[in-house]
Structure 1
Amino acid sequence: MDFTIPAEIEDYRARIATFVEERILPQEEDPAAWDAHGNITTERLNELRAAAKAEGLWCLQLKPETGGQGLGKVGMAVCYEEMNRSVFGPVVFNSAAPDDGNMMVLEQAGTPEQKARWLEPIVSGAVRSSFAMTEPHPGGGSDPGMMMTKAEKTADGYVIRGHKWYITGAEDADHFILMARTSDDPRRGLTAFLHDKSDPGWRIDRRIPIMGPEEHGGHCEIIYDELVLPEDRVLLGEGLGLKVTQMRLGPARLTHCMRWLGLAKRCTEIARAYAETREGFGVRLADRESIQIKLGDLAMGIEMGRLLVMKAAWELDQGRFAKKEVSMAKIHVANLLHKAADVGIQINGARGYSKDTVLEWIYRYARQARLVDGADEVHQMVLNRHLATEDRDFWKWDAATN
């Protein structure tokens, strides 16, 4: 097995690393660069985005004809990990959720007209987007089959009524991908729609306060009250909404993991730097066996996560769904991120708990990782289903044919 990455990918990785070190990390040290919700201000972000574009580091995940650099999932794994050495990193390169997943699904599923109207403005950075799927009980969460938001077919298109919540980025979004029920068919009952913030018939009820720092636009509760959309707002086709969610959420779960590995490495970096200089009772923390065990365990966990992510990325690049590989990566890396932040804070002591480092930011952010895009337990159930149907073939290697 060849774990060597292509020279082109290494070039992107190295240039991203330099950009993060020289241009983005200094922004973290400046209180004026932070907005009220724990993210980079729009003014500073626009400056960095212009620089990233100028250096050819923009939208690496998209095809060249869409405005990207055509990196496959393996290349994205390498580069996204490097981007998220900084908490501001991914959004600077237009590789942050939810725009990242929305752009990839629109690139794959949109018509030429839809790409021009709905995708190109996100690619250029002119607008932000949101993916409106999750609903309060008894609606759909991890199980989209429970979706209650309905789209009624009319002579002129569709009328949509429903209730969504925890919709990431909604307050700052111009473009939305909305999931709604168009029939009771268990496989073809959902449809994906495109709508603009200026369309009448919907409103943001509230921006939901959360424990951690927020993406731009927060996490919002939305009411759809007779939103009228023409037929050309259907993405992929009526009844193919479940396919749209599969196209979007599988890769999106993995890109979360790619980015989280970068944050886990940052936690380890901060912990190591402090342990190298801090002394207690005449001994450096770095020389204490207890600290060495903690850091060695984190290093191993990060490398395990990288291997899981890379295997899943390779499977996706082969055109497969990689459901079990993505689930394994999602469970491991989500828990790893929380552990890395916790260990980083513990080694730094009061300094880690304060805002003198980004450790407390990462710690608050990390708790959501075990919930977003499917809770741990949902992915464990997915793995058990694969085990039940595949038996010993669950662990089967793909063999080359002569």
Structure 2
Amino acid sequence: MDFTISPRIEEFRSRIARLVEDEILPREADPASYDAHENIRTDLLDTLRATARAEGLWCLQLAPETGGQGLGKIGMAVCYEEMNRSIFGPVVFNAAAPDDGNMQVLEKVATEEQKACWLEPIVQGRVRSSFAMTEPAPGSGSDPGGMMLTRAERRNDRYIVNGRKWFITGAEAAEHFILVARTSEDPRKGLTAFLHHRDTPGFRIERRIPIMGPEEHGGHCEVVYENMEIPVENRLMEEGDGLKLTQIRLGPARLTHCMRWLGLSKRCVEIAEAYAQDRMAFGERLSQRESVQMMLGDLAMKIEIGRLLVMKAAWELDRGGYARKEISMAKVHVANLLHQAADTAIQINGARGYSKDTPLEWIYRYARQARLVDGADEVHKMVLHRSVEKEGRGFWHWDVGE
């Protein structure tokens, strides 16, 4: 088993690290850099994005013909982890959700005409996008195939859409939307995916839903479709392929979340270590206390476990596999790790960690959603148990080379 990375990937990683250190972290430390929703101000973001683009660090995840560098999932794991040393990092490099997942799925399944109209503007950074699938109860959540209520009815050369979605990330700032709606009652082929613009008649944003944590640009919105017309040429893939498209998109997207969360987890350790080295209490530094050493050592171990889980899933995807088990294991582990890392770092920093003098409280509030988004922990564990039931001892097999 070879755990080395290529010199090319390392070159991108080191350049990202320098840009994060020199250009992004200083902005993160300045309260004036934030917008009203605790994300980076868009004017400042535009400046940093121009720097990333000028240095050839833009959309590294995409193929060269799309405008990227074709790093593959292993290269993305290395680079995304480095980007998210800063809470602002991924969006600077156009590697943040939901645009990241939307660009990757459009690159994979859209027609050339659709790519020119819908994908290229996102790649260029001229527009943002959203993925509209989740619905209010009793509509689709973790089981979109069986529960989706939003319907798209075919009428000649167009579809008429009616329904409601919520917690649609980035919707308020998005121009391009990928919509998943029901077109039949078939349990496997009943959903279809579509593309639509923000200004399409019959579509509206009902509200921006207030949440506990800091928000992505555009927030998390509830949106309504009322007799919205979508021409058939804006359908993605074939009618009935909507569930397939969600699987193509969401599997890798779950993994890219984990890549980024590992970077944030490492940042928590970094902040905690620095404070423990400086802080004196009862005649000794915090870093000399066994209890603190055990807390940080435990995090170091769990971060490395997360990196190995992510890398195995990335390797499996790069060689053409689906990595369903590997992604579920990584998703559960890293989501919980991020929460633990932020909590531990706050505990070591004391009142300083609870304040806004460090990004730890930002990360802590952000981390709570990690165990919910793209499949709650319990859903992934249920899926893993089904695999154990089906495969038995073979669940833990090693692939044998030729």
TM-score of the aligned structures, taking structure 1 as reference length: 0.99
Q: Does 1:166 align with 2:189?
A: no
In structure 2, C-alpha distance between the alignment counterparts of 1:95 and 1:21, rounded to whole Å: 18
Which aligned runs of 4 or more in structure 1 are off by greater than 2 angstroms? none
2:2 counterpart SS class: coil
Secondary structure in 1 aligned to 2:207? strand
Q: What's 1:123 paired with?
A: 123
Q: C-alpha separation between the residues in 1 aligned to 2:31 and 2:91?
A: 18
Q: CA deviation at 1:344?
A: 0.3
* Distance apart, 1:198 and its partner CA: 1.3
Other-structure match for 1:331: 332
Deviations for 1:52-106, whole angstroms, at most 9, x for unmatched residues?
A: 0000000000000000000100000000000000000000000000000000000
What are the within-5 Å matches in structure 2 for residues 215-364 of structure 1?
215-364=216-365
Q: Distance in 2 between matches of 1:63 and 1:285?
A: 47
Q: SS state of the match for residue 66, structure 1?
A: coil
CA shift, 1:30, in A, is 1.2
CA distance in 2, matches of 1:355, 1:117: 42
2:76 pairs with 1:76: yes
Work out the CA distance in 1 between the residues paired with 2:216 and 2:235.
27
1:315 and 1:231 mapped to 2: Cα distance? Answer: 35
Alignment-derived partner of residue 17 in structure 1: 17
2:107 corresponds to 1:91: no
Question: Aligned partners of 1:29 and 1:314: how far apart in 2?
Answer: 35
Deviations 1:127-170 (A, max 9, x none): 00000000011110010121000000102310000010000000
Aligned to 1:3: 3
Deviation per residue, 1:94-133 (Å, 9 max, x gap) = 0000000000000000000000000000000000000000
AA at the equivalent of 1:42: T
Gaps of 5+ in 2: none
The CA distance in 2 between the partners of 1:254 and 1:261, in whole Å, is 11
Counting only pairs closer than 5 Å after superposition, residues 189-204 of structure 1 correspond to structure 2 as 189-204=190-205
Q: Distance in 2 between matches of 1:316 and 1:139?
A: 31
Give ranges in structure 1 of 5+ residues lacking alignment: none
Deviation at 1:260, TM superposition (A): 0.1
Q: How far apart, in 2, do the equivalents of 1:400 and 1:359 lie?
A: 44
- TM-superposed CA distance for 1:184, in Å, is 0.5
Secondary structure of 1:224's aligned partner: strand
> How big is the shift at 1:29?
1.3
SS in 2 for 1:65: coil
1:20-74 CA-to-partner distances (Å, cap 9, x unmatched) read: 0000000011111100101000000000000000000000000000000001000
One-letter code aligned to 2:154: K
CA distance in 2, matches of 1:216, 1:92: 12
| Secondary structure of the corresponding residue to residue 397 of structure 1 | coil
Letter in 2 for 1:138: P
Per the alignment, residue 106 of structure 2 pairs with: 106
Matched residues in 2 for 1:204 and 1:288: separation? 52
Residues 193-229 of structure 1, C-alpha deviations (whole Å, 9 max, x = no match): 0000111101100000000000000000001001101
Alignment of 1:370-389 (within 5 A): 370-389=371-390
What's the offset of the Cα at 1:367?
0.2
Aligned-residue Cα RMSD (Å) equals 0.4
- How far apart, CA to CA, are the structure 1 residues paired with 2:237 and 2:368? 34
2:27 corresponds in structure 1 to 27
d(CA) in 2 for partners of 1:396 and 1:123?
A: 39
